């Protein structure tokens, strides 16, 4: 016999809209915590119901069903049932790109949670049909390019009055953990002749938006696991990644004159009110990016030429966070020594543990 809560889950496929609405109203609260298992009732039929309801014309039904699906992604089996449904994945990303969608941001959270599964790479092959208005905003019909444009152009609700697309930063971070996704971020795209990663760099100092800063910092770090791209990312003037890693680590401290003019141009003569990245966790991500760059000799030599040591030294002086100072020490050791790094160095730089966390909606 089904329990009372399992019976409530069963009402999701009722033909009566009022019954479905009552069921959703009551089930949202059970989509997190120990009661999540009720959604496995009747061989996970509720997941099919929720995916169907998320395609409804009702904004409320869509919001509640997407909220439940996003929360249930903590369950790996449920997450797989969603992300491995290629048609549903296509539906989800096409709705995010719809700039009249009032639920775009909550759909971005669901997409982010789905990106823990490597099937998310299927999104790189999705193309959508754009109307004439959308073609003026999105030069490419490839959905990953549209999502990038949503994130960059749609900051602060500039494209969609109901969405800021901030959570796409975490989606990009997760996508860049996979080789196929990483390749997208570091390769020039034919539709605009721009490397996507270069579009994200400006957000490393968006200090009023922790989600964007953290997600972009993690995307940069994950992209650097492709060691063959290090020198191109450092020296190509259209990318020029180093200043965007160093600026969040730099504060108002004065650098000795014999060092300052060797720094990248963007870090020379910083103002006395220069703000350093306020969160130690994000500082750590940038320091890990420097460590990854230190694993290839040409990049290590480039960092020495650009006096990266002086920025790390000043951060070490002012930080009282052990993880930050430990990473500073590791960067200094890599820059001060002349021998090639051990192969284990790159393996020791793990992806941020937050990459594995599900975003819960309460």
For the purposes of burial, counting CB atoms within 10 Å of the CB of 68, is it exposed (0-12), middle (13-18) or buried (19 or more)?
buried
pLDDT at residue 297 in the model: 93
pLDDT at residue 247 in the model: 97
- Sign of the C-alpha dihedral computed for residues 75, 76, 80 and 81 taken in this order: negative
Q: Contact at 8 Å (CB) between 272 and 319?
A: no
Furthest CA-CA distance within the chain? 79
pLDDT at residue 354 in the model: 57
pLDDT tens, residue order, the chain (362 aa): 568 777 788 889 888 999 999 999 999 999 998 889 999 888 999 999 999 999 999 999 999 999 999 999 999 999 999 999 999 999 999 999 999 999 999 999 999 999 999 999 999 999 999 988 889 999 999 999 999 999 999 999 999 999 999 999 999 999 999 999 999 999 999 999 999 999 999 999 999 999 999 999 999 999 999 999 999 999 999 999 999 999 999 999 888 888 888 999 999 989 999 999 999 999 999 999 999 999 999 999 999 999 999 999 999 999 999 999 999 999 999 998 765 555 556 666 655 555 678 888 76
pLDDT at residue 193 in the model: 96
DSSP 180-232: HHHHHHHS-BTTTTB-HHHHHGGGGG-TT-HHHHHHHHHHHHHHTT-GGGHHH
Q: Which of 237, 251, 157, 155 is nearest to 203 (CA)?
A: 155
Q: How many C-beta atoms surround the C-beta of residue 270 within 10 A?
A: 17
Q: What angle (nearest 5°) sits at the alpha carbon of residue 263, between those of residues 259 and 267?
A: 115
pLDDT at residue 348 in the model: 64
- Phi, psi angles (nearest 5°) of residue 160: -125, 120
CA dist., res. 354 & res. 279, Å (int): 14
DSSP 231-275: HHHHH-TTT--HHHHHGGG--SPPPPHHHHTTS-GGGTT--TTPP
């Amino acid at each position: 016999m089904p329990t009372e809560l399992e019976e409530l889950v069963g009402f999701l496929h009722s033909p009566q809209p009022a019954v479905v609405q009552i069921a959703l109203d009551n089930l949202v609260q059970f989509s997190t915590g120990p009661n999540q298992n009720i959604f496995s009732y009747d061989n996970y039929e509720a997941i099919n119901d929720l995916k169907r309801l998320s395609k409804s014309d009702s904004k409320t039904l869509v919001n509640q069903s997407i909220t439940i699906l996003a929360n249930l992604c903590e369950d790996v089996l449920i997450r797989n049932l969603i992300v491995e449904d290629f048609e549903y994945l296509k539906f989800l990303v096409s709705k995010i790109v719809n700039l009249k969608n009032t639920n775009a941001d909550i759909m971005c959270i669901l997409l982010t949670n789905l990106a823990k599964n490597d099937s998310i790479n299927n999104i790189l092959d999705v193309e959508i049909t754009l109307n004439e208005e959308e073609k003026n905003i999105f030069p490419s019909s490839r959905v990953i390019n549209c999502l990038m444009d949503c994130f960059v152009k749609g900051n602060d609700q500039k494209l969609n009055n109901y969405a800021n697309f901030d959570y796409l930063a975490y989606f990009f971070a997760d996508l860049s953990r996979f080789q196929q996704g990483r390749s997208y971020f570091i390769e020039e795209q034919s539709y605009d002749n721009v490397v996507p990663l270069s579009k994200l760099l400006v957000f490393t100092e968006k200090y009023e938006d922790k989600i964007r800063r953290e997600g972009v910092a993690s995307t940069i770090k994950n992209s650097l696991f492709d060691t063959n791209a290090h020198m191109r990312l450092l020296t190509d003037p259209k990318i020029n990644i180093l200043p965007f890693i160093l600026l969040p680590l730099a504060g108002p401290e004065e650098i000795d004159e014999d060092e300052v003019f060797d720094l990248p141009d963007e870090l020379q003569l910083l103002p006395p009110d220069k703000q350093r990245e306020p969160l130690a966790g994000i500082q750590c991500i940038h320091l890990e990016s420097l460590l990854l760059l230190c694993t290839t000799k040409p990049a290590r030599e480039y960092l020495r030429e650009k006096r990266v040591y002086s920025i790390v030294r000043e951060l070490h002086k002012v930080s009282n966070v052990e993880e930050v100072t430990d990473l500073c020490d590791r960067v200094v050791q890599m820059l001060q020594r002349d021998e090639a790094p051990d192969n284990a160095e790159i393996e020791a730089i793990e992806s941020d543990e937050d990459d594995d966390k599900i975003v819960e909606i309460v």
